Structure 1
Amino acid sequence: MSNEQQDNIKRLVKDHWYVKYEEVGFPSIQKGWVLPVERWADFDPFILMAEDWFKRGTFSDHPHRGFQTVTYVIDGRLEHIDNAGGRDILEPGDVQYMNAGWAARHGEEGVGDDIAHTLQLWLNLPKHLKKTDTSYQNIYSEDAPTVDFAGGSVKVFSGDIAGVKGPMESVVPFTLSEISLNEGATYTHKLPETHNAFLYVLSGDMDFGENEVNLTKHGVATLSFNESGNKDMMSEFRIKANSRRSKVLIYSGTPIKEEIVPYGPFVMNTMDEIKDAYRDFHNGKFGPPAV
């Protein structure tokens, strides 16, 4: 075990930035791009991540095709409605997974007068899975396993992390962990060395990676990884908290390495497939509205 431990790759922060926000028209309130879509090739298998503050009426009935979404609720309440009869309310710390597959039609709304504050990640589907069935899964914060360690804890929503398995059942496996640290605490997060990974700082002040890059709230970083390595080997990513109540989300997944066309609510491999998606939606093939 000790020899294997010595061989583990130590990850660096490869790139980092802070989210820039803009006010948008009511009932939407503010938006920022955590992962801007024009850099999707750098983030593969992740396409984009948006951070939104919004009230009811912003994301009513709409379609999707060709990818998955992972929505983390930071604050407020989020009501999910889909045209297969699904309806639920998610609260801060909860996560929803959706496989849009071939024909999703749903709404994501603030509840009552709440301002919903969410992070929504778009996770690509490889070409051979873009026709899969639509599905949804809600992961409530208390149902995600938590591993405590000196000075903090890691909560696992998806993937095998810290000796536990997250409850999320994604079509394309990926990891999602929420790491909380007290001031002065350190933690070494382990990920498959071939996974592309990024992080988003929810609160506090932390140093990341072997190069000790400092980030505070709203900071984003991509991590170095060994794309041609061994998928069964783990890598290590060091985190140190400089303030109490420091919290970060870390996402990782295997690059798909396919050209994609993200256009409107659809993500396909060619523009012709995008046109087909719009045609199918207008011809009613996505089913009735989500109300």
Structure 2
Amino acid sequence: MRGVITVRRNVKEHWYVKYEEADFPLIQKGWVLPADRWKDFDPFILMAEDWFKKGAFSDHPHRGFQTLTYVIDGRLEHSDNAGGHGILEPGDIQYMNAGWTARHAEEGVEDDIAHTLQLWINSPAELKNSETFYQNVLSEDAPVVEVEGGSAKVFAGEVHGKIGPLNAVVPMTVTEVSLEEGASYIHELPAGHNAFLYVLRGEMAFGEDPVTLKRHGVATLTYEGGAEGKSELEIKAKSRRSKVLVYSGKPIQEDIVPYGPFVMNSMDEIKQAFQDFHAGKFKAPK
């Protein structure tokens, strides 16, 4: 049964990603969500769009947050110290709860150029010391909401009665919406979630007061903190084969210190994370 609709969503802010060339084996990088605005994006910290080859993101540590990586093109191989391993292809998602002592590697496969979106998601203070775990969600394993002229693939959370297989440690939704030109779709989100979207392909209009965005367009959505029930976002495709990713998450409302590969609640905790890493407390990827 659908919840009571209490909020209609519109675009709050929007922009286009700016890209910079990088030193090989990185190739190009852009910030979908810039890291210095985490208070606005809570529980999301940042999102990076990267093009890279093998060797760009070899063995490195994390603590205190979660990563969610969507593969746009190429193949991505992941390995971590919790025993997680997998090779993902376009449209697949990988999730890792870094917890207390994560070390992992994310690599292009063979001679592929991997093109990915990686989202960093904050973990509440009581979960920053949790166990590391990893999950693959293949594109074909995500349930689909069929609509006229398109579909919505649910990776995480509940959308129109479909429940995504991703087991995140914080409440969130992740949905890939694909529409043909002229098609429209009403997307469902928890009313109390902060939310944003990123246009992967084509051109789409969003909200009751429509804002049109093309490929590489980003928008944050209006919301009412603490609201109950469901909210709706109207999406209309203005070109063929349009596709957008829509993310939402329940705000944690805690101050954080993102510093290098760690996200903690104080600078003392950041220093402790570096000390623990250099003391060998982070086991190597298996």
TM range (shorter): over 0.9
Distance 2:11 2:35 in 1: 20
What TM-score does the superposition give when structure 2 sets the normalisation length?
A: 0.98
Supply the distance in 1 between the matched residues of 2:119 and 2:76 (Cα, whole angstroms): 15
Over residues 240-273 of structure 1, what are the superposed CA-to-partner deviations in whole Å (9 max), with x where a residue is unaligned? Answer: 0000100000000111000000000000000000
Find the residue that maps to 1:255 and give its secondary structure.
coil
CA apart distance, 1:188: 0.5
1:46 aligns with 2:44: yes
Cα deviation, residue 87, structure 1:
2.3
Q: In structure 1, the residue corresponding to 2:110 is in which secondary structure?
A: coil
The equivalent position to 1:283 in structure 2, one of 256, 279, 282, is: 279
Aligned match of 1:262: 258
**How do 1:195-234 residues align onto structure 2 when only pairs under 5 Å count?**
195-230=193-228, 233-234=229-230
Output the CA distance in 2 between the equivalents of 1:248 and 1:73.
Answer: 13
Name the CA distance, whole Å, in 1 between partners of 2:98 and 2:9: 32
Indicate which of 96, 101, 104 corresponds to 1:103. Answer: 101
Q: CA deviation at 1:83?
A: 2.6
Aligned residues of 2:179 and 2:242 also touching (Cα < 8 A): yes
CA distance, structure 2, for counterparts of residue 169 and residue 83 of structure 1: 19
**Shift in Å, 1:82:** 1.4
CA distance, structure 2, for counterparts of residue 63 and residue 57 of structure 1: 15
Which residue is equivalent to 2:142? 144
Q: Secondary structure at the match of 1:273?
A: helix
* Structure 1 counterpart of 2:41, one-letter code: F
Match of 1:19 in 2: 17
Q: Could you tell me which of 69, 72, 78 is aligned with 1:71?
A: 69
- Aligned identity (percent) is 68
Partners in 2 of 1:275 and 1:64 — Cα distance? 13
> Aligned residues, how many?
286
Residue from 129, 132, 135 that aligns with 2:130? 132
Name structure 1 gaps, 5 residues minimum.
none
In 1, distance between residues paired with 2:186 and 2:118? 26
Residue matched to 2:159 = 161
Decide whether the 8 Å contact of 2:84 with 2:133 is kept in 1. no
User: TM-score, normalised on structure 1?
Assistant: 0.96
| Residue of structure 2 in register with 1:236 after alignment | 232
Gaps of 5+ in 2: none
SS of 1:8's equivalent in the other structure is: strand
Report the counterpart of residue 88 of structure 1 in structure 2: 86
Residue matched to 1:271: 267
Give CA-to-partner distance per residue, 1:142-176, whole Å, 9 cap, x none: 00011111010000000001211000011112000
- What's the CA shift for 1:96? 0.3
Match of 1:181 in 2: 179
Could you list the structure 1 runs, at least 4 aligned residues long, displaced by more than 2 angstroms after superposition.
83-87
Counterpart secondary structure, 1:26: coil
Deviation, structure 1 residue 84: 3.6
Q: Deviations over 1:25-49 (max 9, x none)?
A: 0000000000000000000000000
Given that 2:31 and 2:47 are in contact with CA atoms closer than 8 Å, whether structure 1 keeps it comes out as yes
